[in-house]
Structure 1
Amino acid sequence: MIRILIVDDDALVTMSLKTIVEATGQIEVVGTGNSAEEAVKLYEEYKPDILLMDIRMGEATGIDAAKEIFSKNPSAAILLLTTFSDDEYILEAIKIGIKGYLLKQNLEAIVPSIKAVNKGQSVFGDTIMNRLPELLKTADNNLSPYLELSEREQSILVLVSEGLNNKEIATKLFLSEGTVRNYISHLLEKLALRDRTQLAVFYYKNVQN
């Protein structure tokens, strides 16, 4: 059973989401809230597997709540749900380690996304990921960390940014999947990043501009 916390400033939306996800019989809603402040408080209280949270909730946003939660729980799995496909929110969400960013009008994707995030995957979707290079064109570059990577690490970073999985990277570079996993772990550690999505963001922001 996947334990989730739902936070949205619209109580009707919160209850509708609860009904949708619990109908699967595989997801339990351990708590609900209606503000960024409640999100932080309830996360500490319930420590859910996943926090499903709106972004725009009054003065404090879901992004603000996520930052505070990450400060105490670096491995928290947070899935943002919003009606706003806002470039600034998308970039900020990915940079701080959000696991997913969904639009409310895409209700059929909510349950599959929760399941994917629970397995450690990121669920920003092709539409958002395809927009990243354009969104990051105006960002300030910092090539120093990239230049400190070995040639092999740079190659793997490029392939990760292109969306290849470990098996595909292993085949392309004539390596074992285990070796690729080790390289990616080292990349994450060297660049102080959380996951593959942030590796792609780093590449597009600092290298491929």
Structure 2
Amino acid sequence: MQIVIVDDDILVTTALKTILESNDDIEVAAIGQDGKDAIALYLKYHPDILLTDIQMKEVDGLQATEEILKQDKDAKILLLTTFNDDEYIIKALQIGAKGYLLKQDYNSIYPALKAVKSGQSVFGTEVISKLPDFLQQKSSFDYSAYAISKKELQIIELIADGLSNKEIAAQLFLSEGTVRNYLSHILEKLELRDRTQLAVFYYQHI
């Protein structure tokens, strides 16, 4: 697995490179110190994963993530920060980051990289604990303007509550394939990338 590490603290990038490369399946292609480096290094190496800090001078990690995803919608970016800030979490989810971890949750970084490489989205325990608060209320947003049916809205709400396709199928007495088809149509109508962005869209429009 090839990764690029970006952090404005050279001690952090150096330490992460040394520790992560102690695993046989990790190769650190390059390290950088700001968002501009993140964009340039990603476009140069196209790593499996970009591991980047958020708060950096000039161009921050969120801005870099957004720019990279405009150029490569399949980019896998894992944000690493000391800030457990609601606004950062929402923005990270909204723009399509594959994970958001706190630096103090250090032991989770290597497993998170493996999970993101396999296609999962990963969020640290402190971040996950905030999600129920984001999802508590039901939406008053006019989904009919997007041609979202009542059944599709039910599925959106269940996805926002964290249910899997299998769980949604059981609850609504549908097949998993039908739920997948519904989800595909919903994402197309709302112009969203995946179920994580759909959940974010839902609680942003409460």
| TM-score (normalizing by structure 2) | 0.89
Give the Cα–Cα distance (whole angstroms) in 2 for the partners of residues 170 and 78 of structure 1.
31
**Matched letter for residue 193 of structure 2:** R
Partner of residue 35, structure 1:
34
Deviation readout 1:161-188 (Å, 9 max, x if unpaired): 1111122222222222222222222221
Partner of residue 142, structure 2:
143
Partner of residue 85, structure 1:
84
Question: Is 2:49 aligned against 1:50?
Answer: yes
Instruction: Identify if the C-alpha distance between structure 1 residues 146 and 28 changes in structure 2 by more than 3 Å, giving closer, same or farther.
Output: farther
Instruction: Identify if the C-alpha distance between structure 1 residues 67 and 147 changes in structure 2 by more than 3 Å, giving closer, same or farther.
Output: closer
Instruction: Identify if the C-alpha distance between structure 1 residues 33 and 158 changes in structure 2 by more than 3 Å, giving closer, same or farther.
Output: same
Could you tell me whether the CA contact under 8 Å between 1:133 and 1:205 is conserved in 2? Answer: no
Q: Percent identity?
A: 55
Instruction: Identify if the C-alpha distance between structure 1 residues 134 and 19 changes in structure 2 by more than 3 Å, giving closer, same or farther.
Output: same
Could you tell me whether the CA contact under 8 Å between 1:166 and 1:181 is conserved in 2? Answer: yes
Instruction: Identify if the C-alpha distance between structure 1 residues 125 and 160 changes in structure 2 by more than 3 Å, giving closer, same or farther.
Output: farther
Could you tell me whether the CA contact under 8 Å between 1:133 and 1:204 is conserved in 2? Answer: no
More divergent stretch after superposition (195-204 vs 141-150): 141-150
Report the CA distance between 1:43 and its aligned residue: 0.5
Partner of residue 200, structure 2:
201
Give the Cα–Cα distance (whole angstroms) in 1 for the partners of residues 147 and 157 of structure 2.
15
**Matched letter for residue 64 of structure 2:** A
SS of the residue corresponding to residue 69 of structure 1 reads helix
Report the CA distance between 1:132 and its aligned residue: 4.1
Partner of residue 155, structure 2:
156
Could you tell me whether the CA contact under 8 Å between 1:132 and 1:201 is conserved in 2? Answer: no
Could you tell me whether the CA contact under 8 Å between 2:96 and 2:197 is conserved in 1? Answer: yes
Partner of residue 175, structure 1:
174
**Matched letter for residue 29 of structure 2:** V
SS of the residue corresponding to residue 112 of structure 2 reads helix
Instruction: Identify if the C-alpha distance between structure 1 residues 57 and 145 changes in structure 2 by more than 3 Å, giving closer, same or farther.
Output: farther
Report the CA distance between 1:128 and its aligned residue: 2.4
SS of the residue corresponding to residue 30 of structure 2 reads strand
Report the CA distance between 1:134 and its aligned residue: 4.4
Deviation readout 1:104-141 (Å, 9 max, x if unpaired): 0101110111111112211124542442464589xxx7
Give the Cα–Cα distance (whole angstroms) in 1 for the partners of residues 177 and 131 of structure 2.
28
SS of the residue corresponding to residue 58 of structure 1 reads coil
Report the CA distance between 1:96 and its aligned residue: 0.8
Could you tell me whether the CA contact under 8 Å between 2:79 and 2:99 is conserved in 1? Answer: yes
| Length, aligned pairs only | 204
Question: Is 2:88 aligned against 1:107?
Answer: no
Which segments of 5 or more consecutive residues in structure 1 lack a partner in the other structure? none
Could you tell me whether the CA contact under 8 Å between 2:66 and 2:95 is conserved in 1? Answer: yes
Question: Is 2:14 aligned against 1:15?
Answer: yes
More divergent stretch after superposition (115-124 vs 78-87): 115-124
More divergent stretch after superposition (123-132 vs 65-74): 123-132
Deviation readout 1:28-68 (Å, 9 max, x if unpaired): 21211111111110100001111100011112210111121
Runs of 4+ that moved beyond 6 A: none
Instruction: Identify if the C-alpha distance between structure 1 residues 37 and 147 changes in structure 2 by more than 3 Å, giving closer, same or farther.
Output: closer
